[in-house]
Structure 1
Amino acid sequence: MKKRYVSIWFPHLVCDQMAIKQKELKTQAYALVAHERNKQMIVNVSHEAKKLGLRPNMPLADARITFPALQAFKHQPQRQQKLLKKLAEWFIRYSPSVALDEPDGLFLDVSGCTHLWKNEALYLEEISSRLEKEYHFHIAIADTIGAAWALSHFSTQQIAAPGQQMQALLNLPPKALRLQDPILQRLSKLGFHHIASFAHIAPTTLRRRFGDELNLRMGQAMGQQQEAFNAIEEPNPYRERLQCLEPIQTAKGIEIAIENLLEIICERLKQEGLGIRNATLNAYRLDGKLQQIKIGTNQPSIHIKHLFKLFELKIKQIEPDLGIELFVMEVLKVEPLTQHQEALWHTNTHTNFTEIAELLDRISIKAGKNAIRRYLPQEHHWPENSIKAVADLTLQPQTNWPVHKPRPTVLLNQPETIKVTAPIPDYPPMNFTYKGQIHRIIKADGPERIEQEWWTNDGKHRDYYCVEDEKGQRYWLFRLGHYDSKVPAQWFIHGFFA
């Protein structure tokens, strides 16, 4: 997959945030100031203050001579860092990989994301529409982090087409390559005022004049050299880490790590009245590869022994190789702990509800998540709508199961069409063809008419038949709607009896 990156630059980040909080002020001209050389120096200004000619590094006294109504606030570096981190977490909705570009920018790895908004232009438009109400920003997308940063900071072009970052950067100043001031000064003295003026010079020549940094930044911007993308971790309040003093290579060592992590997490959840529904164990090997196992429960649980057994059944999936140096356990879904109840559904036998739920958890781990399902009846006429799947074992039926008519053991999610031969209208079929196989019917019972609900007008009634073929297998068939001699009848198979 071709890599694509978005760079977003907030030149007035904290000032914009102050403007949001200080809407009652008469002016939108703000400045952040700090003490330097016994003077109050401006560190950053709002967009409106910039229009008035105010700039960072100006003495506050000089700025107020130019604009007496300027509102000044104390510069707090940690405020900008916290705000940038919160914005990064908010942007996870647009990309799973978001990195900080301190002090005032973000990078997004949008590879495989933009198609959800049809194209890159609509993707950027969606982000811009959400930000423009509160922040001043510049945004751009390109194949590399360096190219996206250059466009967002020094160009009005927002999109560099795949493979076209060179053409997009040629007319930009050398500063767009994120070079240090000494290199920029030397480039300026030599008359290199645009990237195009030195882009085609041999790397060895540039290295002799300017050192390795210029070639490195050029290579990163053009996609010839890799650049690290340090994505932030999505905040998860229920995550615990266990660093290993020595690499773990045995199953026993993994078991001890799981027990320790479960004890810490379950103690926290117990204090909050919550239980685990889904959890993941991430095991980071020395070679950098990730080993991962997941568990799920039918009801919220903080029963450490039970949760450990679920993980234990999957330990064999972990390949430690040279050893595991870090374990991270994440609880992806929590729910309030439920009270114990003695009766399960409508049985008269009092059974320990928790033990049954834990038994179902262990079976699900071995047989698969969908191996066990629970259904409850609901008020609908058509059979496929008369049941609903539920995951919560504590839910009780709101209506009774219908028992006045026979129903198949296996019901198809949706009826499937079949070819039927019937002697005369309203008679059971003599044979039917299903999936290429002909079934000759020797016994039949019906019809049982099932109407669609009166408030629904988009379905005909159904006439159901219980039939048995020459092999003794029984099926549930139906004809849709009234018999019409001009139109061939539509027949369907809907279920199988035991």
Structure 2
Amino acid sequence: MALYLYLHFPSLQCDSLADAETAGLPVAVVDAQHRIVQLNTAAAQQGVKLDMGLASAAALCHKLHLLPYQQHQQQAVLMSIAQQLYQLSADIALDEPDGLYLRLCNMLQLYQGLAGYRAALMAALALLPYQYYYASAATPLAAKCLALQRLNLLTEDCTGTDAALKRSPLSFTELEPDIQQQLQRLGIDSLGRLLALSTAELARRFDNRLVSYLGRLRGEFFHALDYIRPGPGFSRYLELLYDISDMAVLSAPLSKLLQQLQQQLERSNTLCHQLTLRLYCRDSETKSYSVGSAQGEYRAANWLKLCQLQLESHRLTAPVYGLQLEVTQFAPQQAQSDDLFQPQQGNVSALQLVSLLQARLGRNAVSGLSLQNQHLPEQASSRPLPLLQTRSLTGALLQRPAFILPQPRPLQEAVEISSGPERLCPDGWQLAAQRDYFIGRNSKGQWLWLYRTAQQQWFVHGLFS
């Protein structure tokens, strides 16, 4: 038997605001006709209602925060919810701007029945900061009609859903307003009275829009749903209730986005190595920051620390009104086994330390160091990626210093020669270019790489680590 669930989110844009509910501030979303289309709990407690005019709402609540309706933002939030619920249901279809269709008949066996699926679904929805109402039925349109009435009905009992459907007013259907007016003039104000009429009689009196809707509502006509197939990745946008001009204050809303990222990574048992943070600034260009983790992370607390370290070195030139967090690639988590005979490890691994340094100093400021198979001093070492495994070199090359000075400096202190000389000629075998290298130690205990020219002048060319 077919079974569909409809999820209705009446105030997506309003609920997605950062700290609106926790601060207890009344917030409402207004459309282009200056009508209230969304509101939060605090605004409803002040008497503000849906479809109310802007003047009436402002008279009831003088502290009401108003936001313009943004369709693209609403669609992005709806898609993000569908992506998070995709781990529970394979067949999810968008019903823009504020609804989702979920086909349940092929998922009940996986959850050992409707009770197991209900528990998993409610646990997933409890993690989201959005109001929602739901209902189930044998057809998608029937489930939507019941959900719009906020019945919160999830059952396989067709008798109960059919009875509730017959009691439904026509205002909760998808019939056009002109058709509803014609039906009301005939004394038909509920679906029960409409469904009692014969299809032939309805087809004779009304156009095919009514017949098509009733056919899909009953399940007599095929209702095609465009089920999503989300790709790997994460993208969330968070609009701020107030403009923020201090980087430190951004930590609280950023933490909310990172918590959502952690939930998705935990469900898929994955982690990510890099994320992109975008700050939408008022009357200024959008600022984009790339934050990386060499080891890979899924915990929100660790990502927040990396983001804070990178943002500390930047200043805002314009206030921020929105945040967006994006991750394009996920990586599977590697199982970590702790050996009882291994020495005790520190709280921060080597890769985590590299990530912290790169976030604080910049990616180009952190590198590794390795010896090269070159006899010239300027080519004796290189700077590979951090912690990159390099081949070990033995013999005379190990006598090369780890740090080469950009320009040799004259020796101006007393040193104690330990080994040498080693003659090197960078420009062929010309006598004037020859250098005799020595290893010496100064009074501070530093090991220096020295050379003496043919004119008996001494220079410091490098330092040993």
- TM-score range (shorter-chain normalised) is 0.3 to 0.5
Q: TM-score, normalised by structure 1?
A: 0.44
Please report the TM-score for the alignment, with normalisation by the length of structure 2. 0.47
Highest RCO, 1 vs 2 (Cα 8 Å, sep ≥ 6): 2
